[in-house]
Structure 1
Amino acid sequence: MKRILAHLAAGIVLATPWLLHAAPKTKPVAARTAPVVPQEIVLRHALSGPALDAFATLVVRFNDAEAKLKTGAGRIVLEDAQGAADHARLPQLALFDQDDAPAMFGTRPRFRPLHQVMAVGRQAFDTKAFYPQVFDTVDDLAGRMQALPLALSLPVLFYNKAAFRQAGLDPEVAPKTWWEVQEVAGKLREAGWKCPLTSSRFSWVHVENVAAQHGEPLVVKDGKQERLAINNMVNVKHMALLTSWQKSRYFSYSGPGREGDERFASGECAMLTGESSLYARLTRQQPGFPLGVAALPYYDDVYGARPKQVLPDGAALWVLAADKKPEQEVIARFIAFLMRPDVQRDWVRATGFLPMTPAAVQALRESGVDPAILAEAEARLSMPKRDAARTKNGFGRSRIRAILDEEVEFVWGNQKPPKAALDSAVARAAPLLAAPPTAKN
């Protein structure tokens, strides 16, 4: 081997003068260009199961298209929030629900408004293309879009049909009002169920949406300042009813997040109020589960109640640590890709999340999705926005739900009555609503 290397070295040395001498007689050889290194964009998420599979497939499709670009190509790299080496190190993109921000980042991170990123990236971005109720989840006080509402759900009631049969109830008839829920819970309790009813995302379902269904504003103007209005009669009445159910073992509080999902899926609890997207997860992961789903119950004894007037909510795609123009250009193209009707169609069918635009619904209709389901979704999402129905994105405003979650915990711990807890939440939220809105979650 040493002899071979020696011969090769000698050949190179002997050839060098010839190459130098012959070079003027030949055309210059163009220097090889270095391979284009794509602009890497890290996207942190907390997806799992079918939703993760579907999102990963979309990312591969986008990356394949980017690889064909001659200049400025980008590449999306998925990062599981649980496996992130340093949660405090912010990625350029993140798909998350604001309620989950502390767990994913250790704080509530600053974000770059999406409308600014799309302008920098020179991508067409017509916010009027979104359904009003979808747009309402991510706009600020000035009506500007802050993030892409990619993973929204509506609040619904799930129930175990086998449990209903066991209790002598008709499994095809779900309770429509909270008084009917009370009657059903009592029969389930008598049939031996230790957890007739639980909930996920309690504050969103049982405070914000109960208020919305019965025409109560979440925020009201008090002079020039806004103040939280969750301590209204309907909310106090509802919390008091749930408290009585807890004492009767009709209702079991699971926590402020999605803790109730597993208790329902495991068969521990017979009914669950939670996110509509759970339907897709359960039917795919537990195909034999005797699942029933119905609209969120309401109070039929409250004048002017609109039971279908519920508020969508969920995870959105937020731009975080993307300060460089090339990064924002790649992100803008990725957002434009995700908004394509065919991409939305595939995403919604795989996950059960809400379609963002009428174009997506049309694509779903053409793909064979039940027209009745699409008509129901379209009717709800097309409803005009109600200005006082939710707090808007801005400085400290996402902390309001965290405050509400904390006060609700006092109720279940028998430390505060419902009215006192809601009053306290209103008082604690006042400074946050008075602060000027900025790009901070």
Structure 2
Amino acid sequence: MNIKRFKTVFASLAGLAAVGVLTPLAQASAEQQIQLYHRLPETKAMAVKDLVERFNAQAKGVKVVLSEAGWREGSPHMLILEGDDEESFVAGKPRYKPLHALMKDAKVPLQTLRPPAMMTRTPVDAKGQLLALPVGLSTPVLFLNRDALRKAGVNPDTAPVATWFELQETLGRLADAGHSCPYTVAEPGRVMVENLSAWHNEPVAAARGKTVAPSFNGMFQVKHVAMMASWARARYLHVFDHRSEAEQRFAAGDCAVIAAPSESWVDFRRSGKVDVAVSRLPYHEDFPGAPQNTVADGPALWAAAGKKPDEYKAVARFIAFWLQPENQVAWQRETGYLPLNRAGILASRSELLGDDLDNVRVAVEQLTNKPATADSGAQPVVERERVRRILDEELAGVWADSKAAKEALDNAVARASVGN
């Protein structure tokens, strides 16, 4: 998309969303430097760099300095964290300034949507207030190689993939056409257990006394993993050791269909090797009420504790800049991440951006398909990186045909329950 078209698109979108005016902030006479640390992958890092450069070009008295570093490596004002890094950062004594309090103290409006129940609970407090800005949300969706489908005699625009049995028939046609890897999945545990359980309104955790423990070894989870095991034996499904390898295989055209985070859309399209379509995850027709909703998680922007009021005001200015409609649209296009406010949602629905945000549109439709329930909302006990690793380790035995689905899930629940 050229710059002229982008400005035209933004001008149209701006009329659709009410934009708050930032409260004027006192500025120091000398330039104030605000440190931002991150460890994002290359394409996401470039998007952050572009955002910071735009902010610095218009900011007076404040400069954001970007560094690729972990939170233990210095004393930054802001940090973009996910996974184990985020879990260790928020554990123990508070190392962060709650975002809602920071913005309130700085008298700067926080132009975001209220955190929905299907969003990760790590950056949210018990009252539903944001502790951090969830800048990198995504949810698993289905990506398809249009050319591979055409060669198998399947119209990519009407490919039957709404249910798992329909997808099985489509994969069979791909295999018959000679495709050696009809289907793969990035992060099997996150897709097959965590998100598909929510998609079918099936619980993954249960109360045990005063604690909540994993319980993702029920009938639904066993049934789905067993079905995937049969696909692996039939060579329909190929599971690789790392998420990156599965995505690289799809991007190279080696695999025809992949279940992967919605953010991966950007990298698939940039590879230029496959014509990509995106669709909602399939569902099982024999589970009443399905499909329900999936869950979203990803990196969040945290403000470090112990900084000066003027420094927090500078942080608030940067966050408010990030949330401006034009920057939200650019962020979604460049990273594939989900919108944080109404302007971003409107952009994903606009025809003016063509198919640039198809992944966001599908992801948002999937997340909001039905109001989240107690069983389909995000479950912190399952979101932990340790639990996801355990799940993938046990499921590896299923793909190797050395464990039955129920044995693997029972083992995963037992291992994940230790320490809860």
Which of 295, 299, 304 in structure 1 is aligned with 2:280?
295
Q: 2:417 aligns to what?
A: 430
Percent of aligned pairs with the same residue? Answer: 35
Judging changes above 3 Å, is the alpha-carbon distance between structure 1 residues 96 and 270 closer, same or farther for their aligned structure 2 residues? farther
User: Contact 1:157–1:293 (CA<8 Å) still a contact in 2?
Assistant: yes
In the alignment, the residues of structure 2 paired with residue 331 and residue 259 of structure 1 have an alpha-carbon distance, to the nearest angstrom, of 37
Rg larger for:
1
Q: State whether structure 2 residue 304 is matched by structure 1 residue 324.
A: no
User: Contact 1:140–1:392 (CA<8 Å) still a contact in 2?
Assistant: no
Q: Which amino acid aligns with 1:355?
A: P
User: Contact 2:120–2:380 (CA<8 Å) still a contact in 1?
Assistant: no
Which of 89, 96, 113 in structure 2 is aligned with 1:109?
89
1:211-226 alignment runs, 5 A limit: 211-226=197-212
1:265 positional shift = 0.4
Q: 1:76 aligns to what?
A: 64
Residue ranges of structure 1 left out of the alignment (5+ in a row): 1-33, 434-441
Q: State whether structure 2 residue 374 is matched by structure 1 residue 399.
A: no
Map Cα deviations across residues 289-308 of structure 1 (whole Å, 9 max, x no partner): 222222111111222212x5
Q: 2:21 aligns to what?
A: none
Q: Which amino acid aligns with 1:350?
A: E
1:314 positional shift = 2.5
Which of 387, 408, 417 in structure 2 is aligned with 1:421?
408
Q: State whether structure 2 residue 45 is matched by structure 1 residue 59.
A: no
Q: State whether structure 2 residue 232 is matched by structure 1 residue 241.
A: no
Q: Which amino acid aligns with 2:415?
A: R
Q: Match of 1:108, SS?
A: helix
1:219 positional shift = 2.1
User: Contact 1:196–1:269 (CA<8 Å) still a contact in 2?
Assistant: yes
Map Cα deviations across residues 104-142 of structure 1 (whole Å, 9 max, x no partner): x9x833352433443554533376545564575732444
Q: Match of 1:77, SS?
A: strand
Judging changes above 3 Å, is the alpha-carbon distance between structure 1 residues 318 and 35 closer, same or farther for their aligned structure 2 residues? closer
1:407 positional shift = 2.6
Q: State whether structure 2 residue 162 is matched by structure 1 residue 176.
A: yes
1:197 positional shift = 0.8
Residue ranges of structure 2 left out of the alignment (5+ in a row): 1-27
RMSD over aligned CA atoms reads 3.4
1:73-222 alignment runs, 5 A limit: 73=62, 75-80=63-68, 84=69, 88-89=72-73, 91-98=76-83, 101=84, 108-110=88-90, 112=96, 113-119=98-104, 121-125=106-110, 129=114, 133-134=118-119, 138-174=123-159, 175-222=161-208
User: Contact 2:123–2:131 (CA<8 Å) still a contact in 1?
Assistant: yes
Map Cα deviations across residues 121-168 of structure 1 (whole Å, 9 max, x no partner): 453337654556457573244433232121222321112122223223
Q: 2:246 aligns to what?
A: 260
Q: State whether structure 2 residue 348 is matched by structure 1 residue 348.
A: no
In the alignment, the residues of structure 2 paired with residue 118 and residue 240 of structure 1 have an alpha-carbon distance, to the nearest angstrom, of 48
In the alignment, the residues of structure 1 paired with residue 346 and residue 155 of structure 2 have an alpha-carbon distance, to the nearest angstrom, of 35
1:356 positional shift = 1.5
1:203 positional shift = 1.8
1:317 positional shift = 1.9
Q: Match of 2:184, SS?
A: strand
Q: Match of 2:406, SS?
A: helix
Judging changes above 3 Å, is the alpha-carbon distance between structure 1 residues 61 and 154 closer, same or farther for their aligned structure 2 residues? same
User: Contact 2:205–2:381 (CA<8 Å) still a contact in 1?
Assistant: no
Q: State whether structure 2 residue 41 is matched by structure 1 residue 47.
A: yes
Aligned length: 381
User: Contact 2:141–2:363 (CA<8 Å) still a contact in 1?
Assistant: no
Q: Which amino acid aligns with 2:36?
A: V
Q: Match of 1:403, SS?
A: helix
